[in-house]
């Protein structure tokens, strides 16, 4: 009989692990109160390896990532947020509902070692409740959102704020990251934190320490950027990271808020009998010709003028070859023609190697008179190819 019972237990465990039969997790949340739910990795780890702990005595510590969304929707409700800093850390769902209703949250856990997945269903029912009339928001500069959401840390912060408020009837209203309220991303160095805003509420009016925040002197010091000292007898933070920033403390008295105007009444959409519809008058006619002139004609005229100017510069101011040669020195022209002839001759020789030596290797002609000297009959290297000849115009050249 005992053996049969153990087999039944084993089959039950296998069925749960294979089919993933899980019940829904239900919470009832009042409007205006903080809700936090911790996604513990140990809970999902036992689902990924259900038999390893029972029989092998081994339990993995795998990294996990969580994905949370509203059922049949890609995102969470607007009042609910999720955070997880690292795959080896637990995740947190937190937020403060603003209106009654019901939300079904799907939680998916992905095992980064085996890539198995697990799914939980979280049913959140938000009920209507009266808001706390007196609320205060504090800024904790040396905190991060993941370190504040655990219930033990919330109790520590609440105890310090109870001393500051001088009442024990204090409720957490909201906790939000400073980055969600326009804060800057801190440097990735030790001692730099994102900061957390903690909002609490109570039925009791603000204490004397809190009322000092409303004094003109305190506001003047914060506006000037001076270091505000903690009011005497108002420093109740037992842990340095729980100390608040006084210049960022805000008080909210919901009893003094003006009531919202009533919503407009919707009519039937049908005019009463005997009332004629008077349509609005059509706007006066407008002459668009000046706009057309400025938009089309003026740019077109400017384009034509620029084209005419460019055509005059490119075509009408060209000198021409004959005019240019007439204004150029004849000796310079002759020298230029000689260079072109020698270039053409070298190009022709490049295609056929069996040709006589080029004229450019013969003795140089007189560039003044155009006369050629008689070719030399010696191949001695001491005799240059270009012989110096007497230039009748050399006496007229300037000398240094």
Tokens (6 digits) for 158 = 């609440």
Of 182, 58, 60, 39, give the one whose Cα is nearest residue 121: 39
Of 216, 194, 24, give the one whose Cα is nearest residue 107: 24
**What is the rounded distance in angstroms from the CA atom of residue 328 to the CA atom of residue 90?**
92
262-272 residue pLDDT tens: 887 877 777 67
**Tens-level pLDDT at each residue, the chain (400 residues):** 444 444 444 444 444 444 444 568 999 999 999 999 999 988 888 787 765 555 555 667 889 999 999 999 999 999 999 999 999 999 999 999 999 999 999 999 999 988 889 999 999 999 999 889 999 999 999 999 999 999 999 999 999 999 999 888 899 999 999 988 888 888 878 888 999 999 999 999 999 888 888 888 888 888 887 677 776 678 788 888 888 888 899 999 988 877 777 887 877 777 677 677 777 788 888 888 888 888 999 999 999 999 999 998 888 877 777 777 788 888 888 888 889 888 888 888 776 766 666 555 555 555 455 555 554 444 444 444 444 444 444 444 444 4
Asked if 291 and 299 count as a contact pair (C-beta separation under 8 A), the reply is: no
**What is the rounded distance in angstroms from the CA atom of residue 235 to the CA atom of residue 163?**
9
**What is the rounded distance in angstroms from the CA atom of residue 276 to the CA atom of residue 282?**
18
**What is the rounded distance in angstroms from the CA atom of residue 359 to the CA atom of residue 366?**
14
Query: In CATH, which of 2.70.98.10, 3.30.200.20, 2.60.40.10, 3.20.20.10 is domain 24-127?
Result: 2.60.40.10
**What is the rounded distance in angstroms from the CA atom of residue 161 to the CA atom of residue 164?**
5
**What is the rounded distance in angstroms from the CA atom of residue 81 to the CA atom of residue 173?**
15
For tokens 């607007």, name the residue: 78
Q: Which sequence spans correspond to the domains of the chain?
A: 24-127, 134-253
pTM: 0.59
**What is the rounded distance in angstroms from the CA atom of residue 105 to the CA atom of residue 69?**
6
* φ/ψ of residue 88, rounded to 5: -90, 5
For tokens 């937190």, name the residue: 94
**What is the rounded distance in angstroms from the CA atom of residue 40 to the CA atom of residue 24?**
16
146-177 residue pLDDT tens: 999 999 999 999 999 999 998 888 999 999 99
């Amino acid at each position: 009989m005992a053996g049969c019972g153990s087999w039944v237990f084993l089959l039950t465990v296998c069925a749960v692990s294979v089919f993933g039969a899980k019940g829904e997790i239900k919470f009832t949340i009042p409007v205006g109160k903080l809700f936090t739910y911790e996604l513990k990795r140990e809970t999902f780890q036992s689902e990924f390896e259900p038999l390893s702990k029972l029989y092998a005595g081994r339990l993995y510590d795998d990294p996990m990532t969580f994905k949370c969304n509203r059922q049949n929707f890609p995102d969470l409700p607007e009042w609910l947020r999720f955070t997880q800093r690292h795959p080896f850390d637990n995740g947190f769902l937190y937020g403060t509902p603003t209106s009654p209703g019901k939300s079904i949250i799907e939680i998916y856990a992905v095992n980064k070692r085996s890539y198995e997945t697990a799914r939980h269903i979280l049913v959140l029912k938000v009920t209507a409740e009266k808001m706390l009339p007196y609320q205060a928001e504090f800024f904790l500069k040396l905190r991060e959102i993941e370190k504040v959401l655990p219930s033990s840390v919330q109790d520590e912060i609440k105890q310090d704020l109870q001393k500051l408020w001088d009442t024990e009837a204090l409720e957490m209203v909201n906790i939000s990251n400073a980055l969600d309220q326009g804060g800057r991303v801190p440097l990735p160095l030790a001692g730099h934190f994102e900061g957390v805003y903690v909002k609490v509420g109570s039925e009791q009016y603000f204490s004397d320490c809190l009322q000092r925040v409303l004094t003109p002197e305190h506001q003047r010091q914060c506006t000037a950027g001076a270091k505000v000292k903690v009011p005497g007898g108002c420093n109740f933070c037992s842990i340095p990271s729980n100390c608040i920033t006084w210049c960022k403390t805000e008080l909210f008295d919901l009893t003094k808020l003006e009531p919202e105007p009533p919503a407009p009444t919707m009519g039937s959409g049908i005019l009463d009998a005997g009332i004629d519809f008077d349509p609005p008058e059509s706007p006066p006619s407008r002459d668009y010709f000046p706009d057309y002139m400025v938009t089309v004609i003026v740019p077109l005229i400017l384009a034509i003028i620029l084209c005419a100017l460019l055509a005059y510069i490119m075509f009408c101011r060209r000198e021409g070859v004959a005019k240019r040669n007439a204004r150029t020195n004849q000796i310079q022209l002759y020298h230029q023609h000689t260079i072109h002839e020698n270039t053409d001759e070298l190009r022709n020789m490049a295609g056929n190697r069996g040709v006589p030596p080029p004229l450019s290797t013969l003795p140089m002609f007189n560039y003044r008179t155009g006369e050629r000297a008689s070719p030399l009959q010696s191949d001695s290297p001491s005799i240059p190819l270009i012989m110096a000849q007497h230039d009748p115009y050399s006496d007229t050249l300037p000398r240094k």
